[in-house]
Structure 1
Amino acid sequence: MEDHGPETYGELNADVYDEWHTHDPTEAVDFLADLIADGPPGPVLELAVGTGRVTLPLAARGVDLHGIDASEAMVARMRAKPGGEEIPVTIGDMADVAPDSGDRFAMVFVVFSTFFFLMTQEEQVRCFANAAERLVPGGRFVLECPMPDVARYGRNQAVEALQVGLGHVRLIAVRHDPVEQRFEGQHVLISAEGFRLAPAFMRYAWPSELDLMARLAGLERRDRWGGWRREPFRAEGMYVTVYEKPAPPPPS
């Protein structure tokens, strides 16, 4: 992972990100909008806004949305879309950077597993602390997470075909490090024009580990669902966790 940083994934994948990730974000937008309406007033901060796949439809519903992203290339893709120029975005590492506005937020959220692009436990702990510091009392920190499925990786490695067409094939090759809890992967696109590599490295965490990070940051778990439709959590696939910053106790 030489020269790998928080901006690496976005800088190397921005031009194909929307093409390769086509799932509909409507359920995520609906969930977040409902939670915002049910929470304290104030602006909302998205960590890793990327190309704006959730950012823009949520802002279109009238949410005062701010963003952070490490990749200027990804943010440029969002800026090129209708409404993208209106979203204030700070470029930097979501584990540490403060939004340029200096605001406190009613909600901080991160979707599509992007939290796990923070490659060490220390960075993930710092991100929880950073999010908690930006929240108003009663504010929520929302994460969409993949349940680790280490059984997929026989001998701690796997190759999977993601797309197969008449003129192309897209594969993903992954190596699993069970000690550091990391997946180091490459998307490989092979076509008549040649091939390209798009690296994707992640450090996974178990739900109980995330809950501990939240406690260290002064947050309490409010809900854990099996998806954006509030399905029961069954420890498989993608799931959603909502943490809340408790209000300070009244003066004695």
Structure 2
Amino acid sequence: MSSKLRIDLNCDMGEGFGLYKSVADEELLKYVTSANIACGFHAGDPRIMDATVALAASKRVSIGAHVSYPDLVGFGRRQLKVSPQELITDVTYQIGALEAFCRRHGTRVSYVKAHGALYNDMAVDATLSQAMATAVLEYDPSLAVLTLAGSPSLEVLGAAGVKTISEGYADRAYTHEGLLVARSKPGAVISDPKVVSSRGLALASQQPITDIEGSSIYVSCQSICIHSDSPGAVTLAATLRATLEEAGIFVISFS
């Protein structure tokens, strides 16, 4: 396999709150190249944000603001109806909060990724994507936005002048339309390390994967996500990275 192929591995991190901590984050940072850090709206608090940024900075892992609907109780996985202006101000607030901790630890926010329901809604809602574009461009035009590969949001964000990074999932099932299968449905989350690694390798090498119905689909992506709350997340990340590197694929942050 060509050594010219490269891929970013990203992971959602800092998703604790108060006494509840994300215990796998430090181990996961050994294998991923970008960290999507919760900014307080679906998870995270000042202490957790500070500690997670410090860890990511010490590992020289790129940092992204993992922004969400204001839904701490529902972990950001409930659909909320928000106006474009509400989304702009909420996203601005979250990026700014994380940026403050990045400055403290000598690093910076390099990109933005929506979380949960906001991510899925943005993938198909041009109004939300445009609001995200406005928030990002007004805060810092150099920031990239990580969003679902093949989704309409890529076109909307790109047309607005935002740098976009297409994202694929090794540990989640896809519909035939290229959307993520709802977590409430059987088979939506994939936890077998061999299956995750095989799918991740196919994504990175631009080969087809199977959708939830067993048909082949192509997902063209620049970054692959591993969820920190997936069963055995550290093993999944370690196995996937080893598989990619053994195949001659360069694992490096897009930023």
> Is the pair's TM-score, using the shorter chain for normalization, greater than 0.5?
no
Greater percentage in strand? 1
- State the TM-score, normalized to the length of structure 2: 0.33
- State the TM-score, normalized to the length of structure 1: 0.34
Greater percentage in helix? 2
